[in-house]
């Protein structure tokens, strides 16, 4: 296998975002992710198998200790869903998409079109 260059934090974040859009098990999901990241498929497969899958296996096997957070970090479900005035079930404020998110969706749509044309 060729030498795989290390990824930047930006690459990691874009990879995580792409995993949400192209869920595992969807046809050609790694190919779509590679297209979106503009990275070779071999590199994306390496990071998926050697990094992500390996990390999940470690966590699920109990060989990786999850961080211990202070009690102050934990809130009850009731506290988490109540507003300052004690009201519950409020509709959250809608946050408009950023320019980067708009570009991401356009890139994905173009990727689908290109892949469909190749088929």
| Residue-wise pLDDT tens digits, 5-50 | 888 889 888 998 898 888 888 788 899 999 999 999 999 999 888 8
Multiple choice CATH, 8-82, 3.20.20.100, 1.10.10.60, 1.20.140.90, 3.30.565.10: 1.10.10.60
pLDDT, greater one: 13 or 3: 13
Nearest to 16 by CA among 60, 49, 52: 52
Q: pLDDT by residue (tens digit) across 48-92?
A: 888 788 888 888 888 877 777 777 777 777 777 665 555 555 666
Beta strands in the chain (DSSP E): none
pTM of the model: 0.49
Q: Under DSSP, is residue 88 helix (H, G, I), strand (E, B) or coil?
A: strand
Answer positive or negative: Cα dihedral of 113, 115, 118, 119. Answer: negative
Asked if 51 and 16 count as a contact pair (C-beta separation under 8 A), the reply is no
Q: Are 48 and 31 in contact (CB under 8 A)?
A: no
Minimal CA–CA distance to 41: which of 106, 117, 111?
A: 111
């Amino acid at each position: 296998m060729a030498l795989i260059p290390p990824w930047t934090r930006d690459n990691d974040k874009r990879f995580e975002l792409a995993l949400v859009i192209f869920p595992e098990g969807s046809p050609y999901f790694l190919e779509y992710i590679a297209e979106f990241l503009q990275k070779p498929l071999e590199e994306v497969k390496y990071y998926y198998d050697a990094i992500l899958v390996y990390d999940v296996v470690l966590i699920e096997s109990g060989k990786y200790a999850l961080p211990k957070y202070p009690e102050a970090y934990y809130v009850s479900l009731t506290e988490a869903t109540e507003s300052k005035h004690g009201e519950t079930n409020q509709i959250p404020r809608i946050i408009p998409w950023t320019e980067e998110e708009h570009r991401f969706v356009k890139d994905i749509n173009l990727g689908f079109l290109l892949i469909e044309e190749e088929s």
